[in-house]
Homo-oligomer: A and B are copies of this chain.
Amino acid sequence: MSEEVKPESVSLYSVSAAATPEQEAVCIFGTGDLGRSLGQRLLQSGYRLVYGSRRPHSCGPIPPGAQVMSHEIAARSASLVFVCVHREHYDFLETLAPHLKGKVLVDVSNNLKKNMYPEANAEFLQRLIPGAHVVKAFNTLSAWALQNGPSDANRQVYLCGNSPEAKQAVAEIATKLGFNVQDRGSLSAARELEDFPLQLFPEWRLPMRLTIGLTAFFFFYLLARDVIFAYVDQGKDNSFRIMVSLANKVFPIVSLILLSLCYLPGVIAAFLQLYRGTKYKRFPDWLDRWMLCRKQLGLIALALASLHVLYTLIIPIRYYVRFRLAANTISQIKENKTSVFDTTMGWRTDSYYSMGVLGFGLYLLLGIASLPSVSNALSWREFSFIQSKLGYLTLFFCTFHTYLYGWDKFLFISSFKWYTPPGYMLCLVVPSVVLLLKLLLLLPCVDKSLTRIRQGWERTDPEDDSKKSLLAKDCQKL
């Protein structure tokens, strides 16, 4: 709920500075904003701090307690150097190479865009000074966190580097500063770390685009059918329906389609494996990418389903609904009709609501199981039980809910305004196909073959002798 939270332990740590005077020195190259922020935090955690600067006597304000020296002298006084300099100015470091030999160089730099340079900043630095042990670290944190210590999304420090000892040294400092350290392997992971702060939900992009596209399509489709048709055909102004009635049609329709798109790639993959007779062949790229965003598709579908639930539950307090109900009652009295309770209607509507409630309940369960801390506590078998078995059950409930909603409307010509089918009919296509295909896969004979293939068995066709050698290459890419 907050942008920036200052940790409560700041005051404490500044006290601890005095308590551990034997603390070793660290060096920071660069007295810019980043260097200053990091320096302040290091001083608060009890480190002795030396700044290296090109102009040690006119470098602007530095945190009190730190010294400023020339790069050479500063480098000599510490075994660990933070390089808080923009990549464009790395060149000057080359001249310092002899003084940096055997030292740990921490690259904290980020770029403004992805792919600005052919190699990662940290790898470039390592190439400039081959004798030093370069460690990429701290770059994923905000300047605020570097200055004030960890908070909320700023607890993790990712690091990578080729020297385990150098990484250990940096990890110790990060731990002392209050962060959680996660080792991401060798320096070749630096590019990944440098791209990390630039990313804004990359894995959500494709699903979001799909959602926006589907939502826009169904919005205009239903606008034409529900509002414009009424206006053209009967001259009735139904436009107020956009806010609730239309939204409450678009959201469930898109939600159901997205939910079924979660399960479609798994079904396609299964049929592909059955057809190929092996699991060692790579899936087509589009299928791979589709499978990678299933979690996101499911969560967006859950969000839309939740909106559908809220929009449904406010129906009875809407002015329009109350007006219509009262008007109905009044017209019944005036015409002196006595309407009879229709048990079939009672069964149908109650089943329809019940399916919806149960489907949404299960869906919430799936969502909760997707929370990182919950899914980490599950064993693999438990996780796949929830996401696969309960997932298909959810899809079934939601699809059945929609069928009950439709009931026999498809028999009446008045449903097909302007010869178009109602929205709910369109949205039933994909889920019905997914459920049918899944049913096929559950047939004992099909299920048995698939299980064998997934356990590593391969079908070898007599005419296809060259397959094995091909396989080996496929494996590599998988």
Could you list which residues of chain A lie within 8 angstroms of chain B, going by C-beta atoms?
1-6, 8-9, 12-13, 15-16, 19-20, 32-33, 36, 40, 45-46, 60-65, 140-142, 145, 147-148, 152-156, 162, 175-176, 178, 183, 185-189, 191-192, 196-201, 203, 237, 239-241, 243-245, 247, 262, 266, 280, 288, 291-292, 294-299, 303, 306-307, 309-320, 322-323, 325-326, 328-330, 332-334, 339, 341-343, 345-347, 349-351, 353-354, 356-358, 360-361, 364-366, 370-385, 387-388, 391, 455-456, 468, 471-473, 475-476, 478
A353/B317 contact (C-beta < 8 A), A32-B456, A188-B15, A472-B63 known: yes
- Which residue of chain B is the closest to A352 with respect to CB atoms? B243
- Give Cα A205–Cα B113 distance, bound, in whole angstroms: 43
Contact among B153, B176, B342, B353 for A376, CB-based, below 8 A? B153
Name the residue on B nearest A363 (C-beta): B1
Once A314-B357, A329-B330 are accepted as A-B contacts, the answer to whether A382 and B472 lie under 8 Å apart by CB is: no
Contacts of A476 in B (CB 8 A): 40, 63-65
Q: Are A294 and B5 closer than 8 Å at their CB atoms? A: yes
Q: Assuming A240-B347, A345-B319, A372-B373, is B329 touching A61 (CB within 8 A)?
A: no
With A40-B475, A141-B380, A347-B239 known as contacts, the answer to whether A244 contacts B320 (CB < 8 A) is no
Write the nearest CB–CB distance from A152 to chain B, whole angstroms.
5
The reply to whether B475 and A64 contact each other, CB–CB distance below 8 Å, is yes
Q: Are A325 and B326 in contact (CB under 8 A)?
A: yes
Neighbour of A378 across the interface among B153, B322, B339, B345, CB < 8 A: B153
A172 → B minimal CB distance (Å): 8
| Known A380-B140, A381-B198; contact A350-B33, beta-carbon cutoff 8 A | no
Integer count of this chain's copies in the complex: 3
* Interface of A (DSSP majority class): helix
**Nearest-CB distance from A372 to chain B (Å)?**
4
Report which of B60, B189, B296 forms a contact with A16, defined as CB distance below 8 A: B189
Tell me whether B343 and A237 are in contact (CB under 8 A).
yes
A152 to B189, CA, bound (A): 20
A383 touches B152 (CB 8 A): yes
Task: Report the separation of the CA atoms of residues A203 and B8 in the bound assembly, to the nearest whole angstrom.
Answer: 10
Q: Which of B140, B317, B366, B372 contacts A1 (CB 8 A)?
A: B366
With beta carbons under 8 angstroms apart, the residue of B19, B62, B175 that contacts A187 is B19
Q: Are B295 and A240 in contact (CB under 8 A)?
A: no
Q: Are A456 and B1 in touch, CB under 8 angstroms?
A: no
In the assembled complex, the Cα of A106 lies from the Cα of B454 at a distance in Å of 24
Measured CA separation A197–B379 after assembly (Å): 6
Select which of B328, B356, B357, B381 is within 8 A of A197 by beta carbon: B381
Complex: chain B residue closest to A357, CB-CB: B310
CB-CB < 8 A to A33: which residues of B?
Answer: 455-456
Asked if residues B244 and A354 are in contact (CB atoms below 8 Å), the reply is yes
Contact between chains at B1 and A299 (CB < 8 Å): yes
| CB nearest neighbor in B for A477 | B14
- Answer whether A374 and B372 are a contact pair too, CB < 8 Å, given A12-B192, A240-B346: yes
The answer to whether A328 and B326 have CB atoms under 8 Å apart is: yes
Known contacts being A3-B384, A354-B247, A365-B303, is A472 close to B333, with CB within 8 Å? no
Decide: B375 and A2 in contact? CB cutoff 8 A.
no
Complex contact B320–A153 (CB within 8 A): no
> Considering only CB atoms, which chain B residue lies closest to A384 in the complex?
B3
Q: Are B475 and A310 in contact (CB under 8 A)?
A: no
Give the contacting residue for A200; candidates B312, B377, B381; CB below 8 A: B381
Question: Would you call B185 and A391 a contact (CB within 8 A)?
Answer: no
Q: Can you name 8 extra interface pairs (CB under 8 A) apart from A13-B185, A16-B189?
A: A6-B292, A61-B472, A152-B295, A303-B365, A307-B361, A312-B317, A314-B356, A319-B345
Complex: A19 Cα to B162 Cα, angstroms: 9
- Top-5 shortest CB links A-B: A1-B298, A33-B456, A153-B383, A373-B373, A2-B294
CB pair B291–A5 under 8 Å, yes or no, is yes
Q: Is A196 a contact of B291 with CB atoms below 8 Å?
A: no
Query: Which residues of B sit under 8 angstroms from A475, Cβ to Cβ?
Result: 36, 40, 61, 63-64
- Could you name 15 residue pairs across A and B whose Cβ atoms are closer than 8 Å? A1-B295, A5-B291, A8-B292, A16-B188, A19-B186, A46-B186, A61-B280, A64-B472, A140-B379, A148-B478, A156-B376, A306-B361, A315-B316, A326-B339, A372-B376
